[in-house]
Structure 1
């Protein structure tokens, strides 16, 4: 069978749990309302263009009410030195019937799971920060077990994981594998993606600039993936899809760059892994959806011309295992 390029999309589904230390939900009510409304539209586009996707979902979203959330506290919490990072302390500080809208999304998860070719993955239970001082391997394992338990209650088996804030901790990979996680998203190899814990201003500036300028080769061959004993398959991210910009020139540069990278991957039979957060579409949702459709139209052309195929993270692993067997 002729080798083909692979287009991978993974989305970090968080709602408030990914940004509570940075934003006030009261000032962002329309933002999160838009996020919830735009997810079904993203799913419709994925269905229209036959796109597979991995939705790395914060486990707390599997709850429906604050009462249920409290009943699902794990046996211990991460003891971050920065207490402002604790999802448990934050949840208890905003607990009310009105805030359930920002914190729980069981019906959205059900809709994603019912849509063909969509994989529900995990973004840990509490948006767990794997490189922050104070946390440890034991509390990470307890956290991941809780995510797996919540998913199984909905007949979902978690196979893929994305580390929150891209705090990729290689020391935690064996625990992931032991608990049934077969795939993790790893960070781009660019130097400005290597220190995701400190996230310096210099790193952020270069990441932003990279969205518009520089070499277009962000893809990699499936044969470059490594099967390591007792560890999940690490699948490198290629590009963050940044939200729509009102600067038309910059926005066009961003979209054209991604299209060029997709074409390069398709032509060279490589993997191109695009990722973003659904809440990135919370501002200017219709413009963001139009940008996504432009990219999916380009995928369609690459599929027709080069056989470019869409796979979620678990699908990449299955194809990789087939190559190993043959």
Structure 2
């Protein structure tokens, strides 16, 4: 077994489904159009630098149209106490030709599938919130089943899960194992990443500040088995998008490269994640920043044997 350090990337691919309860789609149309354009560019960079990645995809994106979406509503739906969180209520209210490009992306999923080293995982079918009042294990199982069926139609067997909004629920891991999932991303082991359902302003401030300052302690050594058949992979760092401030952007990228170097030297795992739509506000600058990170990976690979693995690969190797 190669015991060198490992660089893991996971992307939460959601389009509008990830933020529909927070934004007006009319004001974000260009933002998500940019997101659609940037994904092929990310794939080109991954291919250029031989990067493996797990794309945790909201299952609703597999649909071709609203007609198909209406046909694929599970029999059991989450009954959130806050109905504004329901993707089904929201989707039923915005159906038009104009919104389809914001909610469906089978063409992009096929591009991901055809690119070497890319794993298609799941971000649940409906961007399901596993800690919100009103949802149940029964509706979560129905959601996973729908994700599994949609992926299988495209020839994909789901093996990795990322919980939407990082609402990790250990009580649901047995259901994950029942549907063939083998590994899940978990939150950083830091106080301001806990309880993401009811996070405080202080947590948000510390999470933002952590992107620029603090100790380099984000890499780790093990992929623990959370329950028999399911391993957990701690996220190391959220790649925040460019904020337009030269000094802060420089500090943000320096921090990531420093953490990558530490992981490579110490033969540890460094797990970077973000949402593709995070690049939608300033695509050119964010792609440039990503290439700087990938160039640094290549340096670490040549110097220390650092390797790029997706979630499924590293779970099998180090679990």
Q: Are 2:62 and 2:104, in contact at CA under 8 Å, matched by a contact in 1?
A: yes
Aligned to 2:284: 286
CA shift for structure 1 position 2 = 4.9
Q: Secondary structure at the match of 2:196?
A: coil
Distance 1:265 1:230 in 2: 27
Q: Could you tell me which runs of 5 or more consecutive residues in structure 1 were left unpaired when the two chains were aligned.
A: 322-326
Distance 1:271 1:165 in 2: 22
Residue by residue over 1:151-186, the C-alpha shift from the partner in whole angstroms, topping out at 9 and shown as x without a partner, is 000110000000000000010011101110001000
Residue by residue over 1:216-247, the C-alpha shift from the partner in whole angstroms, topping out at 9 and shown as x without a partner, is 120001xx322244341100000000001111
Distance 1:21 1:201 in 2: 19
Aligned to 1:23: 23
Q: Are 1:121 and 1:158, in contact at CA under 8 Å, matched by a contact in 2?
A: yes
Aligned to 2:300: 302
Aligned to 1:124: 124
Aligned to 1:197: 197
Distance 1:252 1:59 in 2: 35
Distance 2:33 2:153 in 1: 26
CA shift for structure 1 position 199 = 1.9
Q: Are 2:11 and 2:55, in contact at CA under 8 Å, matched by a contact in 1?
A: yes
Q: Secondary structure at the match of 2:175?
A: helix
Aligned to 1:75: 75
Aligned to 1:271: 269
Q: Are 2:113 and 2:120, in contact at CA under 8 Å, matched by a contact in 1?
A: yes
Aligned to 1:232: 230
Q: Secondary structure at the match of 1:12?
A: strand
Q: Say which of 302, 310, 313 aligns to 1:312.
A: 310
Distance 1:147 1:70 in 2: 15
CA shift for structure 1 position 110 = 0.4
Aligned to 1:85: 85
Distance 1:143 1:301 in 2: 41
| Backbone CA RMSD of aligned residues | 0.8
Q: Could you tell me which runs of 5 or more consecutive residues in structure 2 were left unpaired when the two chains were aligned.
A: none
Q: Are 2:173 and 2:227, in contact at CA under 8 Å, matched by a contact in 1?
A: no
Q: Are 1:11 and 1:54, in contact at CA under 8 Å, matched by a contact in 2?
A: yes
Q: TM-score, normalised by structure 1?
A: 0.97
Residue by residue over 1:51-89, the C-alpha shift from the partner in whole angstroms, topping out at 9 and shown as x without a partner, is 000000000000011010000010111000000000000
Residue by residue over 1:138-159, the C-alpha shift from the partner in whole angstroms, topping out at 9 and shown as x without a partner, is 1001001100000000110000
Distance 1:7 1:40 in 2: 21
Aligned to 2:169: 169
Aligned to 2:55: 55
Q: Are 2:10 and 2:56, in contact at CA under 8 Å, matched by a contact in 1?
A: yes
Aligned to 1:188: 188
Q: Are 1:178 and 1:230, in contact at CA under 8 Å, matched by a contact in 2?
A: no
Aligned to 1:324: none
Q: Are 2:137 and 2:172, in contact at CA under 8 Å, matched by a contact in 1?
A: yes
Q: Are 1:51 and 1:310, in contact at CA under 8 Å, matched by a contact in 2?
A: yes
CA gap of 1:228–1:207, structure 2 versus 1, over 3 A, is: closer
Q: Are 1:176 and 1:231, in contact at CA under 8 Å, matched by a contact in 2?
A: no
Q: Are 1:59 and 1:125, in contact at CA under 8 Å, matched by a contact in 2?
A: yes
Q: Are 2:7 and 2:307, in contact at CA under 8 Å, matched by a contact in 1?
A: yes
